[in-house]
Amino acid sequence: MIDFLVNTPWVYQAGFILGGFLLGLAAELILVRTLKVLAKRTRSTWDDLLVQGLHRMPIVWGTAAGLWGAMLVRDVDPLIRVVLGKILTVIIIASLTLVAMRWASGAVDQFTSRGGARLASTTLVNNLVKLVIFILGLFLILQNLNVEITPLITALGIGGLAVALALQDTLGNLFAGISIILSRQVRPNDYLQLSGGEEGFVTDVKARHTTIRTFPSRNLVVIPNSVLASSIVTNYSLPVTSLWITVRVGVSYDSDLEEVERIAVEVAGQALEAVSGKVPDEAPHVRYREFGDSSIDFDVVLPANKFTEQFHIRHEFIKRLHVRFNKEGIQIPFPIRTLVMSKKEDAPEANNP
């Protein structure tokens, strides 16, 4: 058995490769898992990000180290050594690039999850960051393979003109999406209303389109980025999420307007408490509008914490106000019109000829 091992070099080489793989597997199962447990115990989420970026990488690095050791344990043909060396270099650079892409994507999510983030965390932003790192890693691989990058870049530039002409709409939507994100006027979870009538919550901004989720049907609407960038957009989430709701009411001319105003404000406060609570530093109020044909019309203005609460607040307020007005004897008149006709004087009798 010993003679077989001594006279069989590939056994040593296979042992190094297998040993590297097992060492990497042990590092993945023991070291990385231990680091994950320790990272979860801390308040910071950055250490979780760093550990998650190393997922399965120890196996790759351990196997690569085993392959390198297998080349060193015995004399190997120079050509094979060069080829394997290039392959290992590509594997190491590619794995490091993948780790960097994971860290960068996670860092974007961590950064944009903060309240003062300048960029929205979208698929487009993540993909752009990962694309830049991928291109840098690809250039490093080509340099280590002794491939000239300058002619390649020149060829890509010439070919890019033809691609740009063929993909005008796609590139137009791409740059429109970048413009939308950089403007910071449209963010995920914002409620938008377009001039074309489409409205809903922004779910994501991708390379070609932006998706919004309608309310309350929860259907997805796909809007090309170029259309969104050229539309008149009302963002109900900027600069604040709170808004004012206006409910128009009319009471009869016999009503005591002071009493009507007091009751309307009181009922509005009760409706707000029942639905969402009070908006800080804001209170409902009444503003009389005009003398209508059959009623004195006024607006009850109620604050809401966010856009989706307005429908429930309006619903609750109208029910409560109707009950309260009936209880207090305040009439909400039907739209009627009274015609007053004056009686004409009798015409003088005509003289007989």
pLDDT digits (tens, 9 = 90+) for 31-48: 888 988 888 888 888 888
Non-local (6+) Cβ contacts of 54 within 8 A are 32, 35, 99
120 with 186: CB under 8 angstroms?
Answer: yes
Q: Terminal CA-to-CA distance of the chain, rounded, Å? A: 158
pLDDT reading at 352 higher than 70:
no
When mean pLDDT is compared across 3-7, 151-155, 272-276, 286-290, the lowest value belongs to 3-7
Tell which wins on pLDDT, 221 or 162.
221
* 76 pLDDT higher than 50: yes
**Of 352 and 92, more confident:** 92
**Residue 95: band (very low, low, confident or very high) from pLDDT cuts 50, 70, 90:** very high
CA dist 114 and 129 (Å) reads 18
| Average pLDDT of the residues in 290-311 | 90
The rounded percent of the chain whose pLDDT value lies above 70 is 83
Peptide bond into 216 cis (omega under 30): yes
The model's pTM: 0.64
pLDDT given for residue 97 in this prediction: 94
Question: For residues 51 and 29, what is the distance between their CA atoms, to the nearest angstrom?
Answer: 13
DSSP letter string, 111-169: HHTSTT-SS---HHHHHHHHHHHHHHHHHHHHHHTT--HHHHHHHHHHHHHHHHHHTHH
pLDDT at 118: 47
pLDDT value, residue 319: 94
Is 143:149 a contact under the CB 8 Å cutoff? yes
Residue-level pLDDT at 100:
93
How far apart are the C-alpha atoms of 191 and 188, rounded to whole Å?
9
pLDDT at residue 113 tops 70: no
CA distance 95 to 243: 50
Distance between CA atoms of 260 and 138, rounded to whole angstroms? 74
When comparing pLDDT for 6 and 251, which is higher?
A: 251
Q: How many Cα atoms are found within 13 Å in the side-chain-facing hemisphere of 333?
A: 17
Maximum Cα interatomic distance, the chain, rounded to a whole number of Å:
160
Cα–Cα distance for residue pair 239/187, rounded to 1 Å: 12
pLDDT tens, position by position, 215-228: 888 899 999 999 99
Q: What is the DSSP letter of 306?
A: S
CATH topology of domain 243-328: Alpha-Beta Plaits (3.30.70)
Look up tokens 């989420």; give the residue.
Answer: 45
Among 5-19, 59-73, 84-98, the range of highest mean pLDDT: 84-98
Instruction: Give the chain's mean pLDDT.
Output: 83
Average pLDDT over residues 338-342: 70
Architecture of 182-235 per CATH? Roll (2.30)
CA 212 – CA 190 distance, rounded (Å): 9
For residue 74, pLDDT over 50 is answered with yes
> What is the average pLDDT across 105-133?
73
Q: 5 pLDDT band (50/70/90 cuts)?
A: very low
The count of other CB atoms within 10 Å of the CB of residue 205 is 25
Q: How big, in percent rounded to 5, are the helix, strand and coil portions of the chain? A: 55, 15, 30
pLDDT value of residue 294: 85
What is the pLDDT at residue 110? Answer: 79
Residue 85 has pLDDT above 70, yes or no: yes
* Domain ranges across the chain: 2-166, 182-235, 243-328
Q: Report residue 66 as tokens.
A: 């085993």
Instruction: Evaluate if residue 200 carries a pLDDT over 60.
Output: yes
Strand segments (E) across 148-253: 191-194, 199-205, 209-213, 220-224, 233-235, 243-251
Does the fold of domain 243-328 match that of domain 182-235?
no
pLDDT number for residue 117: 47
Residue 2: per-residue pLDDT: 46
Strand order, beta sheet including 285-291: 243-251, 296-304, 285-291
More confident site: 344 or 168: 168
Cα–Cα distance, 156 to 116 (Å, whole number) = 38
At CA 35, angle to CA 31 and CA 41, rounded to 5?
155
